Structure 1
């Protein structure tokens, strides 16, 4: 299951532009954190924020990111234990996107259909690829509350940095941060 097929199958592109934007504004940090988690899977107690930016516990402590490091590492350990595959990460990102807490959704029914399609895609994948573990889809879905809590921590951390005004931030990042606060 690749990203393009998942998106076309799910119906995201058929949502209104307003609903697409609302979902993205609501879930962008969760999607970023899942990307960090996926890149960090091969490492031991290190988080890969970018190809050339890896942080361990000490570096996280020195930069004031220890709480966030601990939370993201908890997700990494859960996904390592489950041996989560790339296709599952793609699907979890899509589910996180569709599982918005936005109050600005115009067509709730279409978003619900998107959620149903993504849930079905995850169940189909798990029944084909992991038939030996009929509860695997549920185990993956049970990681989403921790993902949301971690994203909330990250948003709060970056908002605090913004309010201190010590670090310049890109305009788009600031807009997305403001949309989430």
Structure 2
């Protein structure tokens, strides 16, 4: 996909997400900026087993995590993001955190990767997916498609859509959704 097509795609996704927020009926209060121990998991955020998570849910999930990090601080946020049963593991969604050098700083399901620089690691199709995710985060936010092992499906390689967002100039957060067999 060329840069112009990617930019158009990104703008369309942002408009879609914005439209979703404008058309949904509010049933609760908006997230407050006050610190909290951890955001609660609402039923709307949980995807039933076997169904796919919509892109808007993925974006909202990462944005919630970025807000949590900014409110509670980096160390507290990383500790929460590392918990396999924490508030940032919801169905197929979980958070991963990296510094801009490509070093993993939080990952609830691959703790052995923490402290490892993965910038030059390739996905199943030879793409430098961490570098691509980092590059998107350097621009503030972005989507990256890559091919990765899905631990929930007998470790088969599947297409995955990752969404990332910059927390500050030192680190970024991401999550992803599997989109079926490669």
TM over 0.5: no
Question: Going by fraction, where is strand more abundant, 1 or 2?
Answer: 2
Question: Going by fraction, where is helix more abundant, 1 or 2?
Answer: 1
TM-score (norm 2): 0.31
- Name the larger-Rg structure: 1
Name the structure, 1 or 2, with higher relative contact order (CA <8 Å, separation 6+): 1
TM-score (norm 1): 0.31
